[in-house]
Chain A
Amino acid sequence: MNFRTFAAFVGPSVFMMLLFIAFPLVSVFKQSFYVTQPLYESVEIETCTPGFLTQTCVTETVSQPQLDEEGKIITQTQFVGWESYRNVLEPERAWRAISDGNWNVLSTINFWKALRFTLTFTLITLPLVIVCGLGIAVMINNAAQAIRGPVIFISLLPFIITPVIGVLSVNWLFRGDGILTALLEWWLNRDIALFAQAWTIEILMMLYRVWHVAPFAAIVFYAGLQTVNQDSLESAVIDGATRWQRMKYIVIPHLMPLIIFVSMIHLMDSYRVFEEIVGFASQGYVISLQWLTYDFLVPDQAGNRSISRASASAMLTMIGIAILLIFPLRRTWRDHKGGH
C-alpha cells in the first residue's frame, strides 16, 4: 500500500484525532508551563445583600479584575517553567517526609496520596480482573451448550451498565444501613460502617471495578477459547497431561495476546479511576490522580480554577500510563514487524 492510499484510508480518522485530541493536548501541554491570570485591583465597594427581613450593606475593599474598553477582563500570561509541576508534586515536602522516614506525612500530600491509591488500585485489580475473567470464561466454556447463552447474557450485564448507575447502585447496597451492610451486620452481629475508613472503601472500589470489568475480560477470553486447537488438546490428553497442565501449556499461551490486550485496556482505564471516587464520595479518605486533575479544573464557587496545575497533573497522569504501557507494547511492535 503506497503512502497516498494509506493517507486516504486513515485521513478522516487522523484528522478527527488531531482536531479534538492532539490540538487540545498541545494546549494542555503549553498551559502546564504558563499561568494566565486576570490583573486584579483593590477597590472599595458597598455591597447590599438581603438578610432575613432587612438588608445588610457593607463597605469593604475587594479585589476586582480590571476590564479593558470592550469590557473584557485584562489577563496576563506568564511563563512559569516547572513551577506548576512543583506545585503539584510538592517535591520539598515529599522529600522531607521521605528522609524523615515519615510515610504518614507523605500520604497526606495530595499528589503522592493519589499516586499511592491509583497504583494500588491498578495493580491489585489487574490480576483480579484477568483471573476472574479467565475463570468465568473457562466455566462458561465448560457449561452445557443450552445454558451458555443465558449465562453469557447475565455475565455481560455488569459491563454494559452505565458506570455512574453501577457505582450508585453499589453505593445504595452498602451505604449506611444499605441492605448488604445490614446483612453483614446481622451475620457478624456487630456494627459495620463501610464508608468510615479508607481501607473498606478501597476494597469496595476494587470489588466494584472487578465486577464491572471482569465480564469484558471473560467475554474476550471466551471468544479466544473457541479457537483453541482441539487436536493439540486431545494429543495432550493422550500424552497424559493433567487438566492443569493442558491449561498452562496450551490454553494460556493461546490466550496470551488476548490477556495482553485486556491488560492494556485495563491498565489505561484503571489508572484513570474516577467514577468510583465521585460515586462513593471517598475524597475524604482516598483520591486518585484523575480526580486530582478534575479537582484543579472545576471552578470553585467564585469561578477560580487552577488550569495550570490541572494541565501539569494531566501530563503527569499521561506519563504514568505511558510508562505502564511500555511492557505490553513491546510485543505489539514485534507482531507488527513480524506480520509483514
Chain B
Amino acid sequence: MSSRALRQPLSLRLTSNIFLTFWCLVAIFPIFWITVMSFKSPVDAFDSNALNVIFGPTTLSNGNGLSLLDIILGIAVIWGTIALVSKKMPAMIKAYSKEGQEWFGWVIGILAAAVGFLVVFFVILPAILSVLNPLFGPLGRDILGLTTEHYKTVWIDRGFSNNFKNSLIVTSGVVILSLSVGTLAGYGLARSGSNLAFWLLIVALIFRALPPSALVASYLPVFISSSEWLAPILGENAPTLYGKPFAVIAVLVAINQPFTIWMLRSFFQNIPAELDEAARVDGCNHFQAFRRVIMPVMWPGVITTGLFSFLLAYNDILVTSLLLDAQNQTMVPAIVGMFNRETTTTDQVVAVAAAVSITAPLIFLVLIFQRQIVSGLTAGAVKG
C-alpha cells in the first residue's frame, strides 16, 4: 500500500524507531516494576536500590530464588507454549472442529493450552528442576530472589477469588446492558436529524461532565432505605438495593451511557443510511431493518465501545466501594482497602500482588481484542 514516493529516508525511520522504543519503555516500565515488586520479600520490594529490587538478595537469603537453569527452562516453556498456541493451534482447531462451530474449538483449545501450561509450569517443571539443579553446580545455584507467597496470600488466604467473581458479574453485566441499551439509542440518534436528537446528545454530554462523587453520594441513603420506600409498590419483597450487584450495574450503565451513545452514534453515522433505507423499501420497519441490516455490520464498533464499558466497570471504585457491601465487593475497592488499612510492609506487597493480579485480565483482553479495537475505531466509531 505504501508506494515508493512515500518511502522515508533511513535517518527519519531510525529517529522514529528510537523514539518509539523510548515510548514503549516509558509505557511499560511502571507496570513491569510493580510486577517485579510483587515477587519480592517486603524488604527487597521497597529497597531504594533498583538492583536490589530486581535481584532480591533478602528474598534469596530466605531461600526463595531461581537458578540460571530455572530461568532458562522457564523461558523455554513459556516460549514453547506461545509458539504452540500461535502456530499449531489454529490449524488443529480447523481440522478437528465442525464447520461453523470453530469458536467452540477455540474455547476448548485455549482452555487446554492454559491447563497444560499451568500443569507443566507449576508441577512438572519444578519436579524436574529439583532433580536437575544439584547436578549442574554453579548453573543450578539460586541467583534471582523470587517468591510467589504474596500471590498465595492474596488468592487463598484473603479470598480474593470472591472479589474476582464479583468483578466478573458486575463487569459483564455492565458491558451487556450498556451495549444493548446503547446500540439502540446510538442507532436512533444517528438516523434522526431532529433537533431533539442533537439536544439529547448535548444533555448527555453535560451529564457526563457532572462530578460523579456528587451523584454517588446521593444514591447511598436512597439505596439503603429502598426496602422501606419500595414497600408500598412491591410489598413484602421490596429489595434493599444497597449491596446488590444489579443495582450497581444499573448505576454504572447509566453513568456510562453518554459516552456509549456518542461513540455508537458516530459509528452508525458512518454506515450508509442507504443500507437500511433499501431494507425498508423491501417492507421492513425500523426495528427489522436494524436487526437484519445493521446488526451484521455493527460488531467492530460495538466491540470497541464494549471495551470502553468494560474498562469503566472493571476500574470503577467510586460507585462500587460505596454501594456494595464486603460480600459483593469487586476487586479495585478491595485492593484500595488493603492499602488503606492499617498496614505492614508485607501487607503492602500483598496489595501490590493483588494489583498485578487485576491487571493481568486487562492485558489478556487487549491481546485478544487489539485488532478489533483498531478496526472498530478505523471504521468510524470516533468521527467526532
Q: A: which residues have CB within 8 A of B?
A: 1, 3, 5-6, 8-10, 12-14, 16-17, 19-22, 24-25, 27-28, 135-136, 138-140, 142-143, 149, 151-158, 160-166, 168-170, 172-173, 176-179, 182-183, 211, 215, 219-220, 222-224, 226-227, 230, 233-234, 237-238, 243, 256-258, 260-261, 264-265, 268, 271-272, 274, 289-290, 293-294, 297, 307, 310-311, 314, 317-318, 321-322, 325, 329, 331-333, 335-337, 339-340
Size bracket, chain B contacts: 35 or more
Total contacts A-B at CB 8 Å:
274
Q: Which residues of A contact B378 (CB under 8 A)?
A: 223-224, 226-227
Whether A158 and B27, one on each chain, are in contact in the complex, defined by CB atoms closer than 8 angstroms, is: yes
Q: How far is the CA of A2 from the CA of B380 in the complex (A)?
A: 26
In the complex, residue of chain A having the shortest beta-carbon distance to the beta carbon of B213: A294
B200 CB within 8 Å of chain A = yes
Across the interface, do B30 and A215 meet the contact criterion of CB distance under 8 Å? no
Interface centre among B214, B253, B317 (most CB of A within 10 A): B214
- Report the Cα distance A254→B211, complex, angstroms: 33
A339 to B198, CA, bound (A): 12
Partner of B48, one of A152, A158, A178, A215: A178
- Does B136 belong to the interface (CB within 8 Å)? no
Given contacts A154-B28, A168-B339, contact A10 B185 (CB under 8 A): yes
Give chain B's interface residues, CB within 8 Å of chain A: 1, 3, 5-6, 8, 12-13, 16-17, 19-20, 23-24, 26-28, 30-31, 33-34, 37, 46, 48-50, 53, 181-182, 184-185, 187-189, 191-194, 196-198, 200-202, 204-215, 217-219, 250-251, 253-255, 257-259, 261, 269, 285-287, 311, 314-315, 317, 332, 335-336, 339, 355, 358-359, 362-363, 365-367, 370-371, 373-375, 377-378, 382-384
Known: A9-B286, A219-B377, A322-B206. A16 touches B33 (CB 8 A): no
Residue of A21, A149, A178 touching B254 (CB-CB under 8 A):
A21
| Contacting residues, chain A, for B253 (C-beta < 8 A) | 16
Provide the residues of chain B in CB contact with A149, threshold 8 Å: 370-371
How far is B37's CA from A30's CA once the two chains are assembled, in angstroms?
49
Bound CA span A34–B286, Å: 46
A9 touches B48 (CB 8 A): no
Using CB atoms, name the residue of chain B closest to A182.
B48
A126 to B324, CA, bound (A): 35
Which of A162, A265, A289, A311 neighbours the largest number of chain B CB atoms within 10 Å of its CB? A162
* With contact pairs A152-B370, A219-B377 given, residues A139 and B192 touching in the complex (Cβ less than 8 Å): no
Cβ of A210 to closest chain B Cβ, rounded Å: 10
Known: A165-B355, A260-B384. A9 touches B314 (CB 8 A): no
Residues of A contacting B49 in the complex (Cβ-Cβ under 8 angstroms): 179, 182
Asked if B26 contacts A1 (CB within 8 A), the reply is no
A160 close to B213 (CB less than 8 A)? no
CB–CB B48/A165 < 8 A: no
* Closest chain A residue to B52, Cβ basis: A179
- Measured between beta carbons, the chain B residues less than 8 angstroms from A142 are 8, 12-13, 16-17
Closest chain A CB from B348 CB (angstroms): 9
Given contacts A13-B181, A155-B24, A293-B213, contact A6 B188 (CB under 8 A): yes
Residue of A13, A233, A307 with highest tally of chain B CB at under 10 A: A13
